[in-house]
Chains A and B, each alone.
Chain A
């Protein structure tokens, strides 16, 4: 598995061509809820006073997603923003702070971040959520921050994220532990669920 990254940490990452030119920086990360993959990024300019760009970056044009930059072949890879996300979709699809529900109807927290796989994958592997106390037994905190796998059946909108109830057995406190839990979840739940 490639390096896992929080989608919120991608904001302000420079978009760099293989020729070494920084042509923009990441603004929004857009992902396909059903496929569980990044579909592209909206962009803003590099200067202090520059705002959002009319161009965006579709995922097929990404050469590699790294921890310090998003690499593209050249500036010709950029496309008009509606190719990546329409304005209406952008307004309705904001997932941060959306409620997290299981497919059994239990509310288990709110979305803090989306965990994606870097490199050339762009896969959405899970979510960082502010979990309710019932999800993390033994925690003294009212809202415990944990990572939860995405699962195969997923519905997500700006209002709610629906995950399989089974996925809540594979929560982890940090990213290294989360990698193991994701593997266990996808390997027929052969790990050691909490």
Chain B
């Protein structure tokens, strides 16, 4: 295989790793809405 083909493989692999990393990070940072039940005077109450 020619040297430039190896270069293409390496670049594609790096781009793939970057895309996966950013996607995982986006998933970890994505939020939701959570309902909990607190006893009066318990933690989280004002």
Residues of A within 8 A of B (CB): 7-8, 10-12, 25-35, 37, 39-40, 42, 44, 48-52, 58-60, 83-85, 89-90, 93-96, 113-114, 156-158
Interface string of B2-45 (1 = CB under 8 A from A): 00000000000000000001100100111111111110000111
Question: Which residues of B lie under 8 Å from residue A33 when comparing CB positions?
Answer: 35-37
Which secondary structure dominates chain A's binding surface? mixed
CB–CB A95/B34 < 8 A: yes
A84 and B44 contact, CB distance less than 8 A: yes
Determine if B31 and A85 form an interchain contact, defined as CB atoms under 8 angstroms apart: no
Total A-B residue contacts, Cβ distance less than 8 Å: 94
Contact across chains for A26 and B33 when beta carbons are under 8 A apart: no
B36 CB contacts on chain A under 8 angstroms: 30-33, 39, 85, 89, 93
Number of interface residues of B (CB under 8 A): 18
| B1 CB, nearest partner CB in chain A, Å | 33
Contact A51–B28 (Cβ < 8 Å): yes
Tell which of A44, A83, A85, A94 touches B28, judged by Cβ atoms closer than 8 Å.
A44
Would you call B34 and A85 a contact (CB within 8 A)? yes
Task: Contacts A44-B28, A51-B28, A51-B29 given; indicate if A29 touches B43 (C-beta within 8 A).
Answer: no
CB distance from B34 to the nearest CB of A (A): 4
Contact B25–A12 (Cβ < 8 Å) = no
Asked whether B35 lies within 8 Å of A31 as measured between CB atoms, the reply is yes
Smallest distance from the beta carbon of B17 to chain A beta carbons, Å? Answer: 13
Q: Is the CB of B33 within 8 A of A29?
A: yes
Given contacts A83-B44, A84-B44, contact A30 B34 (CB under 8 A): yes
Report Cα–Cα, A84/B35, bound state, in Å. Answer: 11
Residue of B nearest to A10 (CB): B31
Q: Which 7 A-B pairs have the closest CB atoms?
A: A11-B31, A39-B44, A33-B35, A27-B31, A93-B34, A156-B35, A51-B28
Q: In whole angstroms, what is the CA distance A52 to B21 when docked?
A: 15
User: Do B34 and A89 touch across chains, with their CB atoms under 8 A apart?
Assistant: yes
A157 with B31: CB separation less than 8 A: no
